[in-house]
């Protein structure tokens, strides 16, 4: 089905939904690289007008990736809840935007099962940044393992103690630094420099030993491939969360070496360990705009829509954490600070609206046209939008992954500015151990220092 809109005397025609969505997307370098971006600002505005007039029901009848050949599309269509969709079934995309801005948290929660990723991506394309912030701030998504994430008035931080050679001393020193500055309630999570089961088990034992000796109400994770984590579980390693990068098409997930049945198997194995004390959310997923294009598995769909489809995969496995690593892939996909800021707010909005405990790695690579001022702006906007968690990296500089993120002090800034606290169980632990949760003036007692290797 073709779509058309006339603007300033020029008629623009869009051949199908895939083309309409791509042309309506705010400019980003990845869509230009893929050859799907609008040729001009006028064409983009025309596409946004046409998209605003499109009934939401249309997304149930025309898919952007073929149903027959893509298991993510089948997941989206087969799991759609028409009863939950009923309150908004008569709306257009533009009408849906207006509705989102006026309703309360309860209404947003009720419609979640009735939303497809494409509906959510579509409405985000016609929203200003303030719209993305205002609606996301009304979405409350709570998850639990050893503490409670996503409560009103909280902002959690992933403590990311990466080391270039997986040196336990380097990891432990960064854990100490982060804990002293109130980070770690989302997860203490290490990206290993090498993905082998021996390294994984060694790091898992280190993280769990620190957590257990200090009695920290949090969870740990080593972000290796899901199959490596499953091997570690078979060896009896202390696995709290199963991590995996995921994408919005079957081909993208295959490029990551995963399938939907494999993710289900890993989740079942983690649940069988019974390590959670407050809840059973055992999955941790990371995503990022541009991964489908890198895998040549985007089907001509714009990168933001594909990214939102990844959230349907995440939603199916009831995760504790989902993280858009927004600027990590590089300027080929998000060229500068302006594009990174827009993408980060889109990803957070779309994930929260679909019911995910959404975090954002406020980050950029050194060859992007961005700097820490851009990250300050995005961090502040995300904090106002109610982001579940952000990263805590020593000095904001991850020397193992070679990218710039947010520091432990950045997390303190956002909490202090916006009046946010850590997860309540973690905040109580900080108080018991003499660490002020909203300043850097506390100090861990000597007994905690001795608990580190």
CB 246 within 8 A of CB 285: yes
Per-residue confidence at 113, pLDDT binned at 50, 70, 90?
A: very high
Strand partners, 188: 159, 220
- Mean pLDDT (the chain) is 95
Give the pLDDT confidence score for residue 445 in this predicted structure: 54
Per-residue confidence (pLDDT) for residue 34, from 0 to 100: 97
Q: In the prediction, which pLDDT does 447 show? A: 55
For tokens 């954490």, name the residue. Answer: 321
Mean pLDDT of 345-362: 98
Would you say 203 and 170 are in contact if contact means Cβ atoms under 8 Å apart?
no
User: Is-contact 370 336, C-beta < 8 A?
Assistant: yes
Q: In whole angstroms, how far apart are CA 68 and each of 15, 64, 74, 143, 353?
A: 21, 12, 8, 33, 27
Q: Can you tell me which residue has the tokens 């009934």?
A: 55
Check residue 439 and give its pLDDT. 45
Q: Could you tell me the pTM of the whole model?
A: 0.96
Interval 230-257: pLDDT, tens: 999 999 999 999 999 999 999 999 999 9
Give the mean pLDDT of 337-364: 98
Over residues 336-355, mean pLDDT: 98
Three-state SS string across 386-435, please?
Answer: CCCEEEECHHHEECCCCEECCCHHHHHHHHHHHCCECCHHHHHHHHHCCC
Contact between 327 and 370 (Cβ < 8 Å): yes
Task: Please report the beta strands in 17-155, taking only residues with DSSP state E, as ranges in sequence order.
Answer: 143-144, 148-149
Model confidence at 433, pLDDT cuts 50, 70, 90, reads confident
Q: Do β-strands 3-7 and 10-14 pair in parallel, antiparallel, or remain unpaired? A: antiparallel
In terms of DSSP bridges, do strands 321-324 and 283-287 run parallel, antiparallel, or are they unpaired?
parallel
């Amino acid at each position: 089905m073709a779509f058309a809109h006339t603007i300033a005397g020029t008629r623009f025609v869009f051949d199908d939904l895939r083309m309409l969505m791509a042309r309506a997307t705010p400019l980003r370098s990845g869509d230009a690289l893929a050859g799907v971006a609008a040729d001009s600002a006028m064409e983009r505005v025309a596409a946004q007008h046409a998209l605003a007039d499109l009934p939401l029901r249309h997304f149930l009848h025309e898919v952007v990736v073929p149903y027959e050949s893509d298991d993510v599309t089948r997941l989206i269509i087969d799991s759609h809840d028409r009863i939950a969709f009923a309150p908004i079934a008569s709306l257009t995309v533009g009408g849906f935007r207006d509705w989102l801005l006026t309703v309360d948290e309860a209404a947003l929660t009720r419609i979640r099962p009735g939303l497809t990723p494409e509906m959510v991506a579509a409405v985000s394309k016609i929203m200003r940044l303030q719209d993305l912030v205002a609606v996301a701030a009304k979405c409350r998504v709570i998850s639990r393992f050893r503490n409670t994430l996503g409560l009103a008035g909280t902002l959690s931080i992933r403590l990311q103690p990466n080391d270039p050679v997986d040196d336990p001393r380097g990891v432990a020193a960064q854990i100490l630094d982060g804990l002293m500055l109130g980070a770690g309630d989302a997860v203490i999570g290490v990206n290993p420099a090498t993905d082998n089961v021996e390294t994984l088990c060694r790091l898992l034992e280190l993280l769990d030993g620190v957590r257990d000796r200090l009695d920290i109400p949090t969870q740990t994770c080593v972000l290796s491939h899901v199959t490596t984590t499953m091997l570690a579980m078979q060896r009896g390693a202390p696995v709290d969360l199963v991590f995996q990068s995921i994408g919005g098409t079957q081909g993208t997930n295959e490029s990551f070496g995963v399938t939907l049945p494999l993710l289900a198997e890993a989740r079942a194995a983690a649940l069988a360990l019974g390590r959670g004390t407050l809840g059973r959310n055992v999955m941790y997923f990371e995503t990022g705009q541009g991964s489908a294009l890198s895998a040549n598995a985007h089907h001509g769909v714009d990168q933001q829509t594909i990214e939102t489809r990844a959230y349907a995969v995440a939603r199916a496995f009831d995760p504790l954490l989902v993280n858009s690593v927004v600027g990590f892939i590089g300027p080929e996909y998000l060229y500068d600070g302006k594009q990174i800021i827009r993408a980060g707010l889109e990803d957070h909005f779309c994930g929260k609206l679909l019911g995910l405990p959404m975090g954002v790695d406020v980050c950029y690579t050194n060859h992007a046209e961005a700097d820490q001022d851009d990250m300050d702006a995005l961090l502040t906007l995300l904090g106002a939008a109610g982001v579940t968690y952000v990263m805590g990296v020593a000095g904001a500089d991850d020397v193992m992954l070679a990218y710039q993120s947010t520091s432990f002090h950045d997390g303190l800034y956002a909490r202090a500015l916006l009046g946010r606290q850590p997860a309540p169980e973690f905040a109580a632990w900080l108080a018991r151990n003499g660490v002020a949760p909203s300043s850097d003036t506390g100090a861990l007692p000597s007994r905690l220092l001795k608990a580190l290797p």
